[in-house]
């Protein structure tokens, strides 16, 4: 069964460093998402991406964040200068594109900013 994969599973970085979180969505899917979950809090929407552009973003998704689909298979989330409060589990999801198709989630990347 096709699945969404994410790498790395755990990333530790120093405050102020740039990190790139990688996702490989399901191959025929057209819509892509990033969510995050700070420990003990809700899963929060960050950004959605379709047709090589951002279709919606939340207030959390400020200028420090960017997304890219560089090669037609990977979908990346970049944080330019990490802050302590960026420590969270980051989930990637993808959707085929039919009317309200199911969003399929990856296992997540745990980001720890020291």
- Binder of another protein out of 91, 94, 111, 113 (CB under 8 A): 91
Residues 10-29 that bind another protein (CB under 8 A): none
Query: Is residue 68 involved in binding another protein (CB under 8 A)?
Result: no
Determine the Cα–Cα distance for residues 86 and 92; give it in Å rounded to an integer: 16
Phi, psi dihedrals of residue 85, rounded to the nearest 5°: -75, 0
Query: Is residue 102 involved in binding another protein (CB under 8 A)?
Result: yes
Query: Is residue 39 involved in binding another protein (CB under 8 A)?
Result: no
- Binder of another protein out of 13, 26, 44, 96 (CB under 8 A): 44
Coil, strand, or helix at residue 84?
A: helix
**Contact between residue 64 and residue 79 where contact means Cβ atoms under 8 Å apart:** yes
Determine the Cα–Cα distance for residues 59 and 92; give it in Å rounded to an integer: 18
Query: Is residue 65 involved in binding another protein (CB under 8 A)?
Result: no
Total binding residues for another protein by CB under 8 A? Answer: 24
**Contact between residue 67 and residue 47 where contact means Cβ atoms under 8 Å apart:** yes
Residue 11 or 44: which CB sits closer to another protein? 44
């Amino acid at each position: 069964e096709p699945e969404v994969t994410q790498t790395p599973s755990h990333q530790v970085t120093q405050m102020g460093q740039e990190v790139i979180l990688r996702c490989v969505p399901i191959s025929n899917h057209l819509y892509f998402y990033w969510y995050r979950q700070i420990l003990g809090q809700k899963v929060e929407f960050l950004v959605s991406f379709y047709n090589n552009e951002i279709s919606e973003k939340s207030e959390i998704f400020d200028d420090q964040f960017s997304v890219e689909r560089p090669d037609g298979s990977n979908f990346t989330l970049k944080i330019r200068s990490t802050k302590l409060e960026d420590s969270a589990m980051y989930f990637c999801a993808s959707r085929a594109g039919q009317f309200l198709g199911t969003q399929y989630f990856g296992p997540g990347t745990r980001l720890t900013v020291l």
